[in-house]
């Protein structure tokens, strides 16, 4: 990642940069700022485009531009909702835009599916609010002009520790589903995990990403299907299989059920009862015989099931849904290569336990022997740094990128990643961490 210019850094004298591209970059920024201030182009569409160009200019720190009166107003529509990705100030502003887009298609159940937790949404909301229990210790007088936010995971170099979590049925929000997400993710050199039941295939997603994505696995209750899914993902080049283990007990997605009451569509064309009909539209199940399957989630899984899966997975095997140190130690003893601390975005169980609240316990339990990733409730760059400080190797996002996808397609996903990335680099500078390895528990304190 290119180092960003520190807030307050002055543009150098062009006469001292002869033979370099610096004068041209300075001139470009000045021209864009002039245009942004001109009444001749003061329309929301043009202003948004100029804001995006300013944000992407080399050496320009997105979150550190204080010259707000000369830049775009980042206008809102008459309903107070952003009308272009470049208008968003933070990822939260994509949520109402996504809701508006989904409801404009008369699909309230699709919106209910995305937003629903379980029962009273206590765990869903706790995932985010729990980050407020942690504060960051900042450091002064450290030259933080050059910051490296890249991270290595299993030998892969990611441009950022922020990765894309699997979300099922992205085709409900964008026709290209995971392929549109992959293009945005690949552009910024992040990593993503594709859901077993996305509408796009792992092969197509890997091609769009430009490198192999990880594959999230719902194993079903038919071992032959489990093997076929693993073989398909590995044949497409995916280096890691991420087994979801938190859907054992069923769930009460109350918000979804409530939204379904309002949905007047005939949904049976896509949601015909029976497993074979349910997955017939899912690309990763094409050419797989699912006639004997009755359950997608493998609710009878045990640690012996993990052993059996370990025996066929050639690459890395991670467990997604671990929430205790005891289970993390068990995972180690069964040859797992990594753990994803997760409660399915608050959609697995109504425990009230936030993922950030158990992260340190899981990290301590594995004692550095395997990577520990985390997701759930991440909405700010500061959230990312807090999770890394508590020992996470990488930090996943779910709903925010789907809000971007639903509202503006690939461009929305790109903007969500841009905003979170800029916020993250900004707080890295404030805590004096010039690279990911310098983020430690000394950077965070807990109010508990």
Buried b (16+ CB within 10 A) or exposed e, 333-350: eeebbbbbbbbbbbbbbb
Q: How far apart are CA 112 and CA 444, in angstroms?
A: 35
Q: How far apart are CA 345 and CA 377, in angstroms?
A: 7
Q: List the Cα angle 48/52/53 in 5-degree steps.
A: 120
Residues comprising the binding site for FMN?
Answer: 195, 216, 244, 320, 342, 375-379, 398-399
Question: What number of other Cβ atoms are within 10 A of residue 91's Cβ?
Answer: 23
Cβ(435)–Cβ(176) under 8 Å?
no
**Cα-based distances in Å from 5 to 88, 141, 147, 295:** 21, 16, 10, 52
Q: Which residue's entry shows tokens 């979170």?
A: 420
Sign of CA dihedral 265, 269, 274, 279: negative
Q: Which residue's entry shows tokens 């044949």?
A: 235
Question: What number of other Cβ atoms are within 10 A of residue 252's Cβ?
Answer: 14
Residues comprising the binding site for glyoxylate?
Answer: 113, 218, 344, 347
Q: How far apart are CA 444 and CA 389, in angstroms?
A: 6
- Going by C-alpha positions, the residue among 330, 326, 324, 337 that lies closest to residue 303 is 330
Catalytically active residues, by annotation: 344
Cβ(342)–Cβ(374) under 8 Å?
yes
Residues comprising the binding site?
Answer: 113, 195, 216, 218, 244, 320, 342, 344, 347, 375-379, 398-399
């Amino acid at each position: 990642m290119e180092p960003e210019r520190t807030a307050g850094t002055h543009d150098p004298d062009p006469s001292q940069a002869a033979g370099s591209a610096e004068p041209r970059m300075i001139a470009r920024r000045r021209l864009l700022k002039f245009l942004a201030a001109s009444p001749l182009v003061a329309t929301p569409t043009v202003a948004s485009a100029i804001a995006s160009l300013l944000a992407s200019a080399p050496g320009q720190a997105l979150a550190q531009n204080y010259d707000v009166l000369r830049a775009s107003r980042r206008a809102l529509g008459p309903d107070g909702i952003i009308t272009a990705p470049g208008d968003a100030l933070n990822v939260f502003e994509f949520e109402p835009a996504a809701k508006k887009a989904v409801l404009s298609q008369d699909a309230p159940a699709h919106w209910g599916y995305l937003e629903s937790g379980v029962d009273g949404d206590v765990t869903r909301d706790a995932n985010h609010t729990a980050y407020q229990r942690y504060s960051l210790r900042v450091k002064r007088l450290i030259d933080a002009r050059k910051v490296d936010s890249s991270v290595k995971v299993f030998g892969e170099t990611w441009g950022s520790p922020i990765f894309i979590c699997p979300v099922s049925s992205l085709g409900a929000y964008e026709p290209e589903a995971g392929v549109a997400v992959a293009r945005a993710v690949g552009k910024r050199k992040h990593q993503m995990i594709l859901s077993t039941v996305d509408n796009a295939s792992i092969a197509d997603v890997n091609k769009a990403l430009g490198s192999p994505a990880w594959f999230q696995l719902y194993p079903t209750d038919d071992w032959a299907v489990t093997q076929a899914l693993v073989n398909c993902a590995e044949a497409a080049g995916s280096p890691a299989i991420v087994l979801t283990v938190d859907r054992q007990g069923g769930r009460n997605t109350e918000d979804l059920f409530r939204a379904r009451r309002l949905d007047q569509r005939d949904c049976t064309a896509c949601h015909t009862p029976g497993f074979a009909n349910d997955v017939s539209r899912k690309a990763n199940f094409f050419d797989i015989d699912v006639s004997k399957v009755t359950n997608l989630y493998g609710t009878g899984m045990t640690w012996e099931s993990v052993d059996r899966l370990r025996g066929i997975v050639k690459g890395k095997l991670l467990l997604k849904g671990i929430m205790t140190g005891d289970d993390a130690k068990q995972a180690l003893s069964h040859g797992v290569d990594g753990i994803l601390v997760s409660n399915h975005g608050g959609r697995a169980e109504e425990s009230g336990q936030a993922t950030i609240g158990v992260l340190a316990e899981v990290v301590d339990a594995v004692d550095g022997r395997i990577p520990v990733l985390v997701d759930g409730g991440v909405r700010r760059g500061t959230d990312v740094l807090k999770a890394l400080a508590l020992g996470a190797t990488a930090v996943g996002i779910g709903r925010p990128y789907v809000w971007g996808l639903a509202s503006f397609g690939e461009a929305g996903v790109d903007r969500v990643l841009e905003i979170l990335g800029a916020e993250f680099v900004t707080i890295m500078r404030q805590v004096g961490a010039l690279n990911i390895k310098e983020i430690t528990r000394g950077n965070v304190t807990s109010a508990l």
